[in-house]
Amino acid sequence: MAGDSRAAGGPLLAIVGATASGKTELAIEVADRLGAEIVCADSTTVYRGMDVGTAKPTPEQRARVPHHLVDVAEPSESFTVARYQRLAHPAIEGIRARDRLALLVGGSGLYVRAVVDDLVFPPTDPAVRKRLHAEAAAAGATAMYRRLAELDPPAADRIEPDNVRRTVRALEVAEITGRPFSSYAEAWDRYPEDRVRAAGIHVPRPDLYERIEARVGAQLAEGLIQEIKELAHRGLGGWLTASQAIGYAEFARHLEGELSLDEAVCRTVKRTKALVRRQLAWFRRDPRVRWFPHDTPALADALAGYLHGDA
């Protein structure tokens, strides 16, 4: 199927779905069939040194199929969706220049749409953001979230209450622009059909939750705690504890004696399940996604056929 005319332009191809739905492995098989290169749409695999806890494609997988936008930032850096957007477009252009297909793969719906639909993102002000983070440190996540809920209820509805980073961002935008953060999302309710051909991997919620529990256990067995120790040794211990990276924050607190191992596991599983609910709600709003049951016979062939335009 390699050499499809869309390599020179046309709609992007995408495989989307919730965390633990099996996108990584399937995408590699599909990319093999299509002659594609993968552009990762994930807010955590961009970070160097965060491999186990992000289920980052392995070196072997990346040798089999080129992956882009992996390991492009240090964990301590501020990596925004706008920066992701700026990096993704030239990566896709480069793939197409090689007469290959670009296959966008990920569970971050905002990152996917940032590329597919060229979403416009509001400006930033480091001084305002720093002050708001200081206020959050003093008042707590709940107080900041309550402030956002009063100021901009639609934005609060889209943000996890204990996600201080996103809460502060929404408050920052409102302060420096005089507009609610949610007002920038008004254009996001439009879904031009010619922008993307997207396949979603559907796993029933109970099965997905079982996979999440197994995945956290597997990550511990694969060395997640050692990875966090190495990041802390690089001077990132404080960042890890305060970060919103699921698993890293919880197990960093375990290493500091604040949580037992069981507590860290339970909190990681709980936050991952909450993430999955938000991911699915996001992708379900996009009518361009055609959903494929995870147990579809010859699923990789079905996905490749659909993305190729055979059905």
Tell me what the pLDDT averaged over the chain comes to. 92
CATH class of 5-117+190-308: alpha beta
**Quick one: CA torsion of 210, 104, 200, 54, rounded to 10 degrees?**
10
Average pLDDT of the residues in 153-178? 93
Numbered ranges of CATH 1.10.20.140 in the chain: 126-188
Do 102 and 39 form a contact (C-beta atoms < 8 A)? yes
Average pLDDT of the residues in 21-31? 96
Model confidence over 48-107: pLDDT tens digits? 999 999 999 999 999 999 999 999 999 888 888 999 999 999 999 999 999 999 999 999
Write the CATH number of the domain with boundaries 126-188.
1.10.20.140
Average pLDDT of the residues in 112-133? 92
pLDDT band at 244 (very low <50, low <70, confident <90, very high): confident
Average pLDDT of the residues in 273-288? 94
102 Cα distance to chain centroid: 18
- How far apart are the C-alpha atoms of 101 and 4, rounded to whole Å? 8
Numbered ranges of CATH 3.40.50.300 in the chain: 5-117+190-308
Task: Tell me which residue has tokens 């993305």.
Answer: 307
Residue 9 has a pLDDT of 64
Residue 121 has a pLDDT of 85
pTM for the model: 0.83
Average pLDDT of the residues in 212-234? 95
DSSP code string of 227-243: HHHHHIIIIIHHHHHH-
Model confidence over 180-202: pLDDT tens digits? 999 887 777 889 999 999 999 99
pLDDT score of 226 more than 50: yes
